[in-house]
Amino acid sequence: MDLGYARVSTAKREPDRQIDALRQVGIAPERIYVDKKSGVTTDRLGLTAALAYAREGDVIVVHTLDRLGRTVRDTLEPDPRPRRAGGGGA
């Protein structure tokens, strides 16, 4: 299943453009998770919910990679929880 994730850096900004792009590629509105927080913030409830919902084989789609985090490390490892042997973090 494809899930979507959109993030804007402040509550004053709107994620509409990202959400529209995710919907255009077939992501169901109820499967789009949104955060209005800075990328430096690790407490992103939308991303946490998307990662918790995702199962093996699911794909989390973002409009641009920088929506996952501000640094390469954040982008490559958005879930700081320890990994279990033979599987994902959640």
> How confident is the model over 25-34, as pLDDT tens digits?
999 999 999 9
Which helix (H) or strand (E) segment holds residue 22: the answer is: helix 16-24
Name the pairing type of β-strands 2-8 and 59-62: parallel
Residue 87, SS3? coil
pLDDT score recorded for residue 77: 65
> How confident is the model over 32-87, as pLDDT tens digits?
999 998 766 667 899 899 999 999 999 999 988 878 776 666 666 655 554 444 44
- Write out the two tokens for 36: 């209005």
* CA separation, residue 33 to residues 27, 63, 83 (Å): 11, 12, 22
> How confident is the model over 1-10, as pLDDT tens digits?
899 999 998 8
- pTM of the complete model beyond 0.95: no
Annotated active-site residue in 9, 49, 58, 74 = 9
Active site residue 38: no
Name the pairing type of β-strands 59-62 and 32-36: unpaired
pLDDT score recorded for residue 29: 96
